[in-house]
Amino acid sequence: MSLREIEKDIQKHESEIIKREHDTTAYDVWRSQEKIQEDVGPSNWQKIKDRLIGVRIRGIVLGGIVLLGITIITLSVVSFVYFQKGFFAQERVTLSIEASQAIDSNKLTEVTFIYDNNNRATLSNAEIAVGFGDHFVPAGEQDDFTQVSDSQGVIRIGKIGGHDKGKFVLTGYFAGPQNSTNSISGILRYTPEKTNARYETNARAATTITSSPVVIDVESPLSIVSGNLMNIVFKIKNTSDSDLSQLRFSVEMPDTFSLYNSSPLPNYGNTWLLDGIKAKSETAIVIRGGIGAAVGTKQSFTGRVFSQGSTNDIVEYANVTYTPSMIQSPITVQQKLVGDSDVVYANERLSYIVKFVNNSDVPLRDAIITVNLDSAVLDYEKLELLDGGDYDQENRRIVWKAADVPALKIFEPQKSGEVRFIVPVLENLPVNNDQDYHFSTSSIASIDSEDIPSELRENKTVLSNILTIPVGAKVLYEPKIVFKSGARKLKVGEETIYTVTVKLGSVNNDLDNVKVFLPLPTHTKYEGNADKDGMEYNERSNELVWNIGKMTHGTGIISDAREISFELSIKPSVDQLGTYVPIIKDQKIAGMDVFAKRNFEFNRDMLTTAHSDQDFTEKTVQP
C-alpha cells in the first residue's frame, strides 16, 4: 500500500489500519484518551446533559399523569351531561292554552291548560300562574285553583311524572267591550328532581269578544221645544253575571245645549266615574238643561261607557246617540244677558232680559212669569228688579204677575213683552275644598196660564227656558318687592338690588298653558338664573316670561300658590330725581281656561319702588 493510500485510509471514519490489532502503550492516542476519561470522570456538560434528560423524563411522566386525569374528568363530565340530558331537558317540558277564538261577552266558556313532561325526571312543586287579561273573570270557586287578584290566579298541579302529561280546565267568562281582544297567559313553574333549580315555561291564547256586557238606553222625548228645559236620562245596564268596576260615562253635548244640573253630579267636566254596576243591574245619569237651536234641526247627544288604563288607553264598552228634533211652541219665554256674554267673572254684574211671546191664536189670562235662580256664586242680597216683581228669598225665585206687568192680565195673541233684573256674581267665590270648582250661573224662566193648551201644559218643560253661563277663572296674582342689597336710600348712579317674588293661583277653574309676562324697563337689570323654575329671559327685549303650564283649581286657596323668586337691580339716573323708579312694567297673565273653554288674559299695573318694602323716604331718588 502506497503512502498516499495509507493516508486516505487513516482519514476514513472506518479506517482499516486503525482497526488492526496493536499493542497498547502509553503512546496510544485512543487508549490515552480513554484512560484520561476513566481517571477524570464525566465532564460538567455531561452532568448537565444527564440532569436535563432526567428532568425531561420526569416531566413526560407527570404530563402523562395530568393528561390522563383531565381525560378522565372530561369523560366523566361528558358522561354526566349526556346522562343528565337524557334525564331532563327544559325544552322537553311544554305548556299550551286552548281557548275560543271568538265568544260573546258573559257567555260561560272553558280555557284549557295542557302541560307535557317528555323527560325521565319527575317535576315537583308544579303550578301554573294564570294572567286573566283585562276582561276574563273566573266562575266562582274551582278545585286546585286560587284567584289571588282581579287579574291573576294560580293552578296547583304538584308533581308531574316522567313522560307524563295532563290538563286543567278553567271555567269563566269574558266581560269586555265589543270587538276587543283578551289574552290569557300561563306560566308553568316547576323543579326537576335531584335539582334545586326552578324552571318556567310560558304560553298565551287570545280571544275576541263579539258583544259587550254594557247596554245604554236613552229615555227622553224625540221632539222637544227649542230653548226650553228638558231632561235626558241615560240608563246604563250591566247584562253580565259579574259586577263591573272602574268604568266611566261621558256625554258629548251640542254647543246649543245649556246644562242646568245633573244627577248625580259629574266628577269632572261631562264625565262620571261609575263606582260599580252590580251584575244584572243598572244605573241612571240624568242631565237637565235646554237647547237653543233652530226649529226643524236635529241635535246630537252621545253617551259612552269606557275604561281608562294606567297608560291612558281608552277602551269603549258601549255608546248611544240621542238626536231629538226641535219644534216650535206657540208660547215661548226666552232669557238672555245684556251684551250676550258667554262667560262671567267674579264681582261682575249680570243684566238679564226675560222675553215672553204668544204666537198662538188664544189670549192668555193672568199669565205669570217666573225665574228661578239656582247658583251658589250669585250675590242675592244685591239683586235689583227693574220691572217690579217679587223675590222669594227662601226659594230664590222671582215672580212677575199682572200687578207688576199689566200686559200679563190679558196676554194677547201675537204679542210679546219683557222683564229685567240685575244680579252680581260674588267677589269671593265659595271655594272651601277641592270639590268647589267650575261654577256656573243658572237661571230658569217659565210662563204659565190656565189658558195654555192642555197638550202643552202636560209637558212641563215646554214652557220653560234655561240660561247657564260659566264663571271664568279668578286668577290670583301677588307680586312682592323686597330690598336685598346696595343703596337702601335710592341715589343717582348707585345700584340697588331687589328680590322679587311672584305668586299665582286659580280659585275656581283648571288652567292650561299659563304664562306670566314681566317686561322690564331699560334701566332694570335681571340678576337671576334664566333657566330657574321655567323662567326665561330675553336680553334683547329685556323681558321675563314665567312658563307655568297647567294649574289646578283651588291653587292658592286650598293648596299652595305657584311661586317664583328672582333678583332685579336698578341704578337711578339724574332724570329720575324725586320720582318712584319703575321696576317692572305692566304685567300680563295669559293662558287657557279649561272649564270656560276660552283663552284668558289679565293685565296688572306697573310696579315701582313705591311697591317695595323700603321706608317711604327711601323710595324716591335722592341726589
Q: pLDDT for 23-78, tens place per residue?
A: 555 445 545 555 445 554 555 556 565 666 666 667 676 766 767 767 666 655 54
pLDDT, one tens digit per residue, over 511-558 is 999 999 999 999 999 997 655 678 999 999 999 999 999 999 999 999
Maximum Cα–Cα distance across the chain: 181
**pLDDT, averaged across the chain:** 85
* 3 state DSSP class of 302: strand
Q: What is the mean pLDDT of residues 399-414?
A: 93
pLDDT value at 87 more than 60: yes
Residue type at 104?
D
Q: What is the mean pLDDT of residues 79-90?
A: 64
Q: What is the mean pLDDT of residues 597-620?
A: 92
- Cα angle 99, 101, 106 (rounded to 5 degrees) comes to 75
For residues 462 and 228, the answer to whether their CB atoms sit within 8 Å is yes
Residues in the chain, overall count: 623
> Cell 200679563 maps to which residue?
408
Indicate the pTM of the whole model.
0.57
Please report which confidence band the pLDDT of residue 1 belongs to, taking 50, 70 and 90 as the band edges. Answer: low
pLDDT at 150: 80
Q: What percent of the chain has pLDDT over 90?
A: 56
309 or 142, which is more confident: 142
303-341 in b/e form (b: 16+ CB < 10 A) is: bbbbbeeeeeeeeebbbbebebebeebebbbbbebeeee
pLDDT, one tens digit per residue, over 315-357 is 788 889 999 998 877 788 888 899 877 899 999 999 999 999 9
**Cα–Cα separations (whole angstroms), residue 268 to 248, 251, 509:** 11, 12, 11
pLDDT at 28: 52
Q: What is the mean pLDDT of residues 280-293?
A: 89
**CA pair distance 440, 304, nearest whole angstrom:** 24
pLDDT value at 568 more than 70: yes
Strand order in the sheet with 181-192: 102-103, 199-209, 181-192, 123-131, 152-160, 145-147
Q: Name the phi and psi angles at 162, rounded to 5.
A: -65, 135
pLDDT value at 462 more than 50: no
pLDDT, one tens digit per residue, over 440-460 is 998 889 888 887 765 555 543
Question: What are residue 249's DSSP bridge partners?
Answer: 272, 305
For residues 226 and 357, the answer to whether their CB atoms sit within 8 Å is no
Please report which confidence band the pLDDT of residue 83 belongs to, taking 50, 70 and 90 as the band edges. Answer: very low
Which among 324, 346, 342 has a CA at the least distance from the CA of 425? 346
Could you tell me what percentage of the chain is helix, strand and coil, using 3-state DSSP and rounding each to the nearest 5? 15, 50, 35
- Cα angle 179, 183, 189 (rounded to 5 degrees) comes to 170
